[in-house]
């Protein structure tokens, strides 16, 4: 009797109705754009030429398509949210109790019978943070009049209706038809009569012959259209991603060039690079361990200190520096665990940077430490990519 919760179909219809309304608004913009676009084309050019179709598709997605996809994807969760909201309202209504036995507003007797409970805003003006509260409507068995109370027991106050001409009291008569309730007020003093009409039919529910057809289309029940739209969004996202990537590469060309120029020696070549360099610094018997192949390739190395009067600290330090310099222009780096030294036996680990992001970081680090110089590049506008429509308006990707 007091339920706010409605049948599932109700929420589906409501959601789809909002989708259709939003899509129709979007289509008005799109149709206008299409017409303007067509008018401004050179006479010989056709609107469905690939470049034009591309621009129109972008504009379509911006004005209608993306919204349709969003609404399609959020339909179930929004409907669930509405259902939960109405269930909570029902729960609030059904659990509400009056704190004490109320007395009739009119004859002050007790024993009233609850005839309705509903949720209302108590504030006179509707405010979003004014929570809805349960209002009880009770019928008095003694005088047969109604009294209303808020769930905390406060009587419901109505502003008394007075005659607009002489401010006197009025009497009222109610008449009800299928479509409306009309209350006719008559002034007790000057007999002025006026009425208040409440429409029972929802204005929005006037017939909409296009509804089912539009629902099939805009709510993506049309499988082919549904697939086409998803693909279009996917393609545009992919295109924007590639465009961004392209722009990044263009702006950081010097980084990518340096990455290309960086030497990427194979494991065997490490010996050719390192052994002679270490020998020059007085280290002998250089050899590599078996490589560890994981996300990155790591390979250990070892050698002996050929100079007997060098202490462990100095030996470690010099080896570290020598390795670092020898591998400077390669994608190999000494790992942070450094060099260990025992009785003239030294070992350490090297890591190869192979992934583009890692290589980029290496180059960036070299630029930071001044090993590489960043070239002066003229500033390009780094705003979003723009396309020009035939009418000169910008389409931002
Ligand atoms: Zn009463
Ligand atoms: Zn009057």
- Ligand 1 centroid–CA 229 distance in Å is 64
Q: Among residues 300, 289, 282, which one has the least CA distance to residue 339?
A: 300
Beta bridge partners, 121, equal: 132
* Between 253 and 204, the higher pLDDT residue: 253
- Ligand 2 centroid–CA 174 distance in Å is 19
How much is the pLDDT for 223? 93
Q: Which ligand is closest to the CA of 146, given by its number?
A: 1
For 222, the token pair is: 């049309």
Q: Which ligand is closest to the CA of 144, given by its number?
A: 1
Q: Can you tell me the distance from the alpha carbon of 277 to that of 149, in angstroms, rounded to the nearest whole number?
A: 94
Q: Which ligand is closest to the CA of 102, given by its number?
A: 1
- Ligand 1 centroid–CA 134 distance in Å is 22
How much is the pLDDT for 322? 93
How much is the pLDDT for 25? 95
Distances (CA, A) of 224 to 122, 217, 220: 50, 10, 9
- Ligand 1 centroid–CA 324 distance in Å is 98
- Ligand 1 centroid–CA 138 distance in Å is 10
- Ligand 2 centroid–CA 192 distance in Å is 5
How much is the pLDDT for 124? 60
How much is the pLDDT for 90? 92
**3-state percent breakdown (helix, strand, coil) of the chain, nearest 5:** 45, 20, 35
For 130, the token pair is: 């004014």
- Ligand 2 centroid–CA 193 distance in Å is 8
- Ligand 2 centroid–CA 158 distance in Å is 19
Q: Which ligand is closest to the CA of 194, given by its number?
A: 2
How much is the pLDDT for 390? 57
How much is the pLDDT for 138? 94
Q: Is it the case that residue 67 has pLDDT exceeding 80?
A: yes
- Ligand 1 centroid–CA 342 distance in Å is 103
Q: Which ligand is closest to the CA of 192, given by its number?
A: 2
Q: Can you tell me the distance from the alpha carbon of 114 to that of 91, in angstroms, rounded to the nearest whole number?
A: 17
Per-domain residue ranges of the chain: 8-95, 225-251, 259-368
Rounded mean pLDDT of 254-261? Answer: 86
- pLDDT 10s digits, 225-238: 999 999 999 999 99
When the candidates are 3.30.70, 3.30.1490, 2.40.50, 3.40.390, the CATH number that belongs to 259-368 is 3.30.70
- Ligand 1 centroid–CA 110 distance in Å is 8
pLDDT band, residue 202 (cuts 50/70/90): low
Q: Is it the case that residue 213 has pLDDT exceeding 90?
A: yes
Query: Cα dihedral sign for 245, 249, 250, 252?
Result: positive
Q: Which ligand is closest to the CA of 171, given by its number?
A: 2
* Residue 348 contacts residue 317 (beta carbons within 8 Å): no
- Ligand 2 centroid–CA 173 distance in Å is 16
- Ligand 1 centroid–CA 145 distance in Å is 6
How much is the pLDDT for 178? 78
- Ligand 1 centroid–CA 113 distance in Å is 11
Distances (CA, A) of 33 to 37, 63, 228, 390: 6, 10, 21, 11
- Ligand 2 centroid–CA 161 distance in Å is 11
* Residue 333 contacts residue 265 (beta carbons within 8 Å): no
Q: Is it the case that residue 201 has pLDDT exceeding 80?
A: no
- Ligand 1 centroid–CA 112 distance in Å is 8
Q: Can you tell me the distance from the alpha carbon of 167 to that of 159, in angstroms, rounded to the nearest whole number?
A: 13
Q: What is the average pLDDT value for the chain, to the nearest integer?
A: 86
| Of the candidate ranges 38-47, 79-88, 113-122, the one whose mean pLDDT is the lowest | 38-47
How much is the pLDDT for 378? 57
Containing 368, the helix (H) or strand (E) segment is helix 356-368
- pLDDT 10s digits, 273-330: 999 999 998 999 999 999 998 888 999 999 999 988 888 899 999 999 999 999 988 9
Q: Is it the case that residue 204 has pLDDT exceeding 60?
A: no
* Between 110 and 380, the higher pLDDT residue: 110
> What is the residue-wise DSSP string for 75-128?
HHHHHHHHHHHHHHHHHHHHH---SS----TTT-----EEEEEEEEE-SSS--T
Crossing angle for the helix pair 8-40 and 66-95, to the nearest 10 degrees: 150
pTM given for the model: 0.60
How much is the pLDDT for 195? 87
Q: Can you tell me the distance from the alpha carbon of 23 to that of 68, in angstroms, rounded to the nearest whole number?
A: 7
- Ligand 2 centroid–CA 189 distance in Å is 5
Beta bridge partners, 172, equal: 185
Percent of the chain at pLDDT exceeding 70: 90
For 57, the token pair is: 């598709």
Residue showing tokens 């007999």: 191
Q: Is it the case that residue 383 has pLDDT exceeding 60?
A: no
Rounded mean pLDDT of 21-45? Answer: 90
- pLDDT 10s digits, 329-374: 899 999 988 888 888 899 999 999 988 888 888 888 888 887 777 7
Q: Is it the case that residue 382 has pLDDT exceeding 80?
A: no
Containing 346, the helix (H) or strand (E) segment is strand 345-352
Please provide the distance, in angstroms rounded to a whole number, between the alpha carbons at the two ends of the chain: 53
């Amino acid at each position: 009797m007091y339920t706010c919760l409605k049948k599932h179909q109700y929420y589906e219809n409501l959601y789809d109705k909002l989708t259709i309304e939003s899509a129709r608004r979007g289509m008005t913009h799109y149709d206008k754009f299409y017409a303007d676009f067509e008018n401004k084309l050179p006479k010989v050019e056709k609107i469905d030429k690939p470049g034009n179709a591309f621009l129109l598709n972008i504009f379509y997605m911006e004005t209608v398509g993306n919204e349709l996809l969003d609404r399609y994807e959020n339909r179930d969760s929004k409907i669930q949210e509405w259902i939960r909201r109405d269930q909570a309202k029902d729960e609030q209504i059904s659990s509400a109790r009056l704190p004490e036995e109320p007395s009739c507003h009119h004859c002050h007797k007790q024993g009233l019978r609850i005839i309705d409970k509903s949720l209302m805003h108590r504030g006179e003006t509707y405010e979003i943070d004014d929570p809805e509260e349960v209002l009880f409507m009770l019928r008095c068995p003694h005088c047969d009049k109604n009294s209303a109370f808020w769930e905390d027991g406060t009587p419901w106050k109505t502003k008394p209706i007075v005659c607009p001409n002489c401010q006197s009291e009025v009497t009222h008569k109610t008449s009800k038809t299928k479509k409306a309730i009309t209350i006719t007020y008559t002034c007790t003093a000057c007999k002025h009569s006026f009425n208040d009409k409440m429409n029972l039919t929802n204005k929005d529910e006037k017939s909409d012959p296009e509804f089912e057809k539009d629902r099939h289309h805009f709510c993506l029940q049309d499988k082919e259209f549904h697939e086409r739209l998803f693909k279009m969004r996917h393609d545009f996202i992919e295109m924007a991603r590639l465009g961004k990537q392209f722009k990044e590469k263009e702006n950081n060309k010097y980084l990518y060039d340096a990455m290309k120029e960086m030497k990427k020696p194979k494991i065997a070549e490490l010996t050719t690079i390192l052994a002679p360099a270490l020998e020059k610094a007085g280290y002998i018997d250089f050899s590599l361990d078996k490589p560890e192949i994981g996300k990155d390739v790591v390979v250990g190395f070892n050698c002996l200190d050929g100079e007997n009067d060098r202490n462990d600290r100095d030996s470690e330090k010099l080896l570290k520096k020598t390795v670092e310099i020898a591998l400077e222009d390669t994608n190999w780096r000494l790992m942070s665990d450094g060099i260990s030294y025992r009785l003239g036996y030294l070992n350490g680990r090297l890591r190869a940077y192979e992934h583009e992001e890692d290589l980029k970081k290496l180059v960036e680090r070299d630029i930071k430490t001044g090993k590489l110089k960043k070239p002066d590049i003229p500033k390009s506008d780094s705003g979003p990519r723009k396309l020009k429509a035939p009418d000169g308006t910008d389409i931002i990707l």
